[in-house]
Amino acid sequence: MNHMVHVFDEAPPSFFRDPKKRGPLEALKQRLTAMKTSHRRPFTDEETGVRTQITSISQNIGCLMGATNEPRSNFDGPLQTRFNWFEAEKLLDTKNTVAECQHAAETMGTAQRQKLNVAIMFHKFEQAYVALVWQFIYMRRIAPPDTTAVGIVMRVFKTELEASHGVSIHSRTEERIKRLAQNLTIVRAKQILYHTNTGKFAGVPFDISQIPAVEDLLVCTEEIVVHAIGLMFDGIMGKNKRRVIAKLWEMHQDNSKYRSTDGGSEDGNYIEIQGHLNAISRKVANALLEDNVFVSSCNIVTIFRELQTKTLRCKKYAIVTDSSIHTFNDTFPQPQPNGRLTGFTPVETEGNKTYFHVHLFRDVRKDTREKNIYKMTVRALMHEFTLQRKVLLGMNPFNSNTPHIWDTFEFKPINGKQIIIKEGIGATEDIYGVIGETIDIDDPLETDVDTHSCNRFGIEMNRQIIPYKPNPDDWSIQRYAYPFKSNKRKRT
């Protein structure tokens, strides 16, 4: 059976790095890109008796996850973008060690173990149900989840992050958010059908003939997209990067040194830190640990190596004494007011010294407080036709010590605020008459996102799709387990 979930307690480095391009890495790429797997086996022709090797190709749909102590930058380049890399951090809580948690699991009571088995079976059914729905989609028996809301929400997020923080979202990250939103849409539909008091199959034994009933509920909602982005936001704007940059700036403030020019004067564009990247990573990791924040040195090395591949576009910096032309309220190098934008390498190494461009520290120089960029960006989604409601975010409450609690956000309409939606290929000259008529949209949104998505899905399905609204009788005292998102912030 090729459709399965593979879990590695510690993934072997050879599985992600293969310089000769003929080992397991090539097979993994095939599975990730084409959802196929191939293998060779001996074959004997019954008529001629000739023994040969044949290659078989079969479908492979699954999930692969694992932990590793290797820096992400050590792995093959294409795989760095095809996987969702989660920078796990140690929860600095001395009350519960790993050994104590293992002992608690081994010695739990009968009633607790029964509840554990129920929770495990709940998630097994969820996983099996999602897989079956996708099989029906591949057979064209039902339509795939509508992702109109994904395009609308992602457009707002990309615009806001680029304008306010200079952050772009990789195309593969955007595609991963889309796939995650589709799976969450299927999970939501399963909850409505099976786990609500008025659900169509509430209390009914599962049968595969029930799968087609899910189709009208396969509309990705605005809340689902926002939640999916939150789950993936560490890969868009990792908190560790800001923490590392802030700690480097503290080290510079304690011992300010700059790169020297050929003439022997100080170059205000680059600060100087003694040591290679690995040594500096260990220094930063130890300094963060003193603040009760754990970031592994291998993750810090990855941050530095990723910075080396980028280019900064900024004005030249210089040490100036005239405070009237200061951009930042400190005595460190300032951008030249009338300078033009120039390209710079963020990190450079010469001998036993490493140089970091001053522009890397612009955010921490403006405000040393850690900000909830994700929640700030969610606010930009509110417009004139936004429905008043509370949505579940994909992150824990900021600076919270409760990893099992999700943050929420109150959506409300904002008079006069518009969101422009773009759909279709847009205005294109059809010289040879091969494009034909298209449904193109480049107009303000005149309904809430969920209603617009249902209308678009209804056009595709040639029937009316009504947005789902919870039945008042669906509320109950029973709670269903939702996978925890570990809190990566410090705990006391």
Q: Please write the tens of the pLDDT for every residue from 344-359.
A: 999 999 888 999 999 9
Straight-line distance from the first to the last Cα atom of the chain, in angstroms, rounded to the nearest whole number:
45
pLDDT band at 34 (very low <50, low <70, confident <90, very high): low
**Token pair for 302:** 């990855």
Instruction: Tell me how far apart the alpha carbons of residues 269 and 347 are, in angstroms, rounded to a whole number.
Output: 11
Q: Which residues pair with 428 in a beta bridge?
A: none
Whether 282 contacts 354, CB under 8 Å: no
Grouping H, G, I as helix, E, B as strand and the rest as coil, residue 51 is strand
The answer on pLDDT for 92 being more than 70 is no
Per-residue model confidence as pLDDT tens digits over 314-335 = 889 988 877 777 888 888 898 8
Quick one: 150 exposed, middle or buried, by C-beta within 10 A (0-12, 13-18, 19+)? buried
**% of residues, the chain, pLDDT over 90:** 30
pLDDT at 73 (0 to 100)? 75
Question: Which letter, b or e, does each residue of 437-473 get, where b requires 16 or more Cβ atoms within 10 Å of its Cβ?
Answer: eeeeeeeebeebbbbbbbebbbeeeeeebeeeeeeee
Residue 124: name the closest of 405, 406, 481 by CA.
481
Helices (H), 35-71: none
Per-residue model confidence as pLDDT tens digits over 149-194 = 999 999 999 999 888 877 888 888 899 899 999 999 999 999 999 9
More reliable by pLDDT, 403 or 282: 282
Whether 277 contacts 304, CB under 8 Å: yes
Instruction: Tell me how far apart the alpha carbons of residues 480 and 191 are, in angstroms, rounded to a whole number.
Output: 10
Gyration radius from the chain CA atoms: 27
Q: What are the respective helix, strand and coil percentages of the chain, to the nearest 5? A: 40, 15, 45
The answer on pLDDT for 147 being more than 90 is yes
320 Cα distance to chain centroid = 41
pLDDT at 216 (0 to 100)? 94
pLDDT at 190 (0 to 100)? 94
Q: What is the mean pLDDT of the chain?
A: 83
**Token pair for 411:** 């959506």
Handedness of CA 446, 451, 457, 459 (dihedral sign): negative
Q: Which residues pair with 392 in a beta bridge?
A: 408
Per-residue model confidence as pLDDT tens digits over 103-144 = 888 898 899 889 888 889 998 899 899 989 998 998 899 999
Q: Which residues pair with 348 in a beta bridge?
A: 355
Q: Max Cα separation, the chain?
A: 93
More reliable by pLDDT, 4 or 249: 249
Helices (H), 139-238: 148-165, 171-194, 222-236
Per-residue model confidence as pLDDT tens digits over 185-237 = 999 999 999 988 888 998 889 999 999 999 999 999 999 999 999 998 888 88
Instruction: Tell me how far apart the alpha carbons of residues 405 and 412 are, in angstroms, rounded to a whole number.
Output: 23
List Cβ<8 Å contacts ≥24 apart for 334-342. 335/359, 339/315, 340/315, 341/313, 341/314, 341/315, 342/313, 342/314, 342/315, 342/316
pLDDT at 480 (0 to 100)? 55
Handedness of CA 187, 189, 193, 195 (dihedral sign): positive
pLDDT at 492 (0 to 100)? 37
Q: Tokens 């020019």 belong to which residue?
A: 261
Q: 324 Cβ partners below 8 Å, 6+ apart? A: none
pLDDT band at 485 (very low <50, low <70, confident <90, very high): very low
Mean pLDDT of 420-431: 72
62-66, 79-83, 203-207 — most confident range: 203-207
Quick one: 253 exposed, middle or buried, by C-beta within 10 A (0-12, 13-18, 19+)? exposed
pLDDT band at 426 (very low <50, low <70, confident <90, very high): low
Domain boundaries, the chain: 5-82, 107-237+469-474, 239-366, 373-447
Mean pLDDT of 57-80: 75
pLDDT at 377 (0 to 100)? 92
Per-residue model confidence as pLDDT tens digits over 278-298 = 899 999 989 988 887 778 888
